[in-house]
Amino acid sequence: MKILKYLFFLLLVIIIAGAIYVATKDGNYQVEETAIIHAPVPVVFNEVNNFKNWDKWGPWMDDADDIIINYPENTIGENASFSWKSEKMGDGSIKNIKVIPESAIDQKLSFKSPYGESNSNVYWDFLEVEEGTKVTWGIKGEQSFMEKLAFTFMEKSFPEMIRPMYKEGLEKLNTVVLEKMSTYSINVDGITTHGGGFYMYTTTATKISQIQTKMQKMFADVSLYMEQNNISTMGNPFVLYNKWDEQNNSAIYSTGYFTPSLIITPAESTVLNGMMPVQKVIKTTLKGDYKNLKEAWDATYKYAQENNLPVNPDSPAFEVYAIRPDKSPNPANWVTEIYIPLLEVEEPTL
């Protein structure tokens, strides 16, 4: 009996010592990962700020095929949240506590497991860099006694388990954002009548590859001139392609804004006035990045050829920018209208 008592007391001492060891063990943790997402800050921020997007890149989604997600009415911005149930990974919820638009998000993560309920602070930081957006995703908190006890017998610590998940999540986030930004559609709307009108413009000649870069300054010059002279704009900015020489990689083009009436400019002015006639055109709408413009133009000319529509060689084709980068940072939302003027063909008399 004495031996049993000694063994009992020895076991009790071991348990007490173990409990003291676990209790005094540092349970504080902080894990963060940083990655460059090749997209503008507003695009990346909006992707993270909407919880309904998380199922596309959340690293834990692939590990729990039994997960059931519940979305409340509010899934975007401050106080937005979502919750989940899963036998494999446990039940939990996450909520936005503080949101600084296009800058930072603070969240509270609650997780229920066999070891009880734990709470952690999750944080996101978004910083504009030359390559796109530097994203930092982190989590910090303190483990309960039961959690410290459980991880004492595990091969990996809590930070060692979380770090690769966050790294994988950021890699997926980059892939998802780039895929969304690259979506586009081209629709040949067909024959319509463009109303034309008076416009202010400036003209230059460059290599075709330099057009997108050069036209931004040209638009700014015309816009500044009109603002300084109290000239109002009408409609969206446009580019007239006066001459296109693909063989020599050169183009002559004009950038401009329509005006309500004719504006007379001084002889020395680099910003000029013009008049676009009312004309029949083939219209095509591109929704997406400008890198898809060539495909949209090719589709428009193909439509003209297949339908025996005579293109007017004396009237420049043009693009109108209905939704542009200053209106939306996401290229997938840009809308460009292509217009190719047609020759007036007399209807046959019966």
For residue 9, what pLDDT is reported?
Answer: 42
Cβ proximity of 342 and 312 under 8 Å: yes
120 and 201 inside one domain: no
For residue 64, what pLDDT is reported?
Answer: 66
Residue 15 lies in a domain: no
pLDDT at residue 160 is higher than 70? no
pLDDT at residue 19 is higher than 90? no
CA distance 107 to 93: 10
Enumerate residues 6+ apart whose C-beta is below 8 A from 80. Answer: 49, 50, 51, 72, 74, 95, 96
Residue 9 lies in a domain: no
pLDDT at residue 146 is higher than 60? no
Of the two residues 6 and 309, the one the predictor is more confident about is 309
- Cβ neighbours, 10 Å, residue 307: 11
For residue 157, what pLDDT is reported?
Answer: 55
Q: Which of 182, 210, 241 is the last residue of a domain?
A: 182
For residue 85, what pLDDT is reported?
Answer: 87
CATH at residue 252 = 3.20.80.10
Residue 37 lies in a domain: yes
Q: What is the pLDDT of residues 122-136, one digit of tens each?
A: 999 999 999 999 999
Average pLDDT, integer, range 287-299: 96
For residue 111, what pLDDT is reported?
Answer: 78
CA distance 225 to 138: 48
Of the two residues 291 and 151, the one the predictor is more confident about is 291
CA distance 332 to 59: 25
157 and 205 inside one domain: no
Residue 8 lies in a domain: no
For residue 15, what pLDDT is reported?
Answer: 41
Judged by average pLDDT, the poorest of 49-63, 95-109, 146-160, 292-306 is 146-160
Q: Which of 153, 182, 211 is the last residue of a domain?
A: 182
For residue 147, what pLDDT is reported?
Answer: 53
CA distance 55 to 70: 12
Average pLDDT, integer, range 305-322: 96
Judged by average pLDDT, the poorest of 14-18, 255-259, 332-336 is 14-18
162 and 195 inside one domain: no
In eight-state DSSP terms, residue 114 is: T
272 and 306 inside one domain: yes
Average pLDDT, integer, range 12-25: 41
70 and 164 inside one domain: yes
Judged by average pLDDT, the poorest of 164-168, 275-279, 313-317 is 164-168
Q: Which residue, among 311, 288, 290, 329, has the nearest Cα to 187 in the 3D structure?
A: 288
Query: In the structure encoding, which two tokens stand for residue 68, read together?
Result: 């059931």
189 and 141 inside one domain: no
Cβ proximity of 272 and 232 under 8 Å: no
Question: Percentage of the chain with pLDDT > 70?
Answer: 83
CA distance 102 to 106: 13
Helix H, strand E, coil C: the string for 158-208 is HHHHHHHHHHHHHHHHHHHHHHHHHCCEEEEEEEEEECCEEEEEEEEEEEH
Structural domain range at position 78:
20-182
135 and 253 inside one domain: no
Confidence of residue 348 (pLDDT cuts 50, 70, 90): very low
Cα 327 to chain centroid, rounded: 13
- Model-level pTM? 0.81
pLDDT at residue 27 is higher than 90? no
In eight-state DSSP terms, residue 331 is: G
pLDDT at residue 237 is higher than 50? yes
Number of domains in the chain: 2
Residue 346 lies in a domain: no
Residue 151 lies in a domain: yes
Q: Which of 117, 148, 182 is the last residue of a domain?
A: 182
Of the two residues 164 and 287, the one the predictor is more confident about is 287
C-alpha distances in Å from residue 304, one per residue of 233, 247, 279, 297, 318? 31, 22, 15, 11, 15
Helix (H, G, I), strand (E, B) or coil at 73: coil
Residue 3 lies in a domain: no
165 and 191 inside one domain: no
243 and 169 inside one domain: no
- Cβ neighbours, 10 Å, residue 194: 17
31 and 161 inside one domain: yes
For residue 16, what pLDDT is reported?
Answer: 44
For residue 63, what pLDDT is reported?
Answer: 66
Residue 11 lies in a domain: no
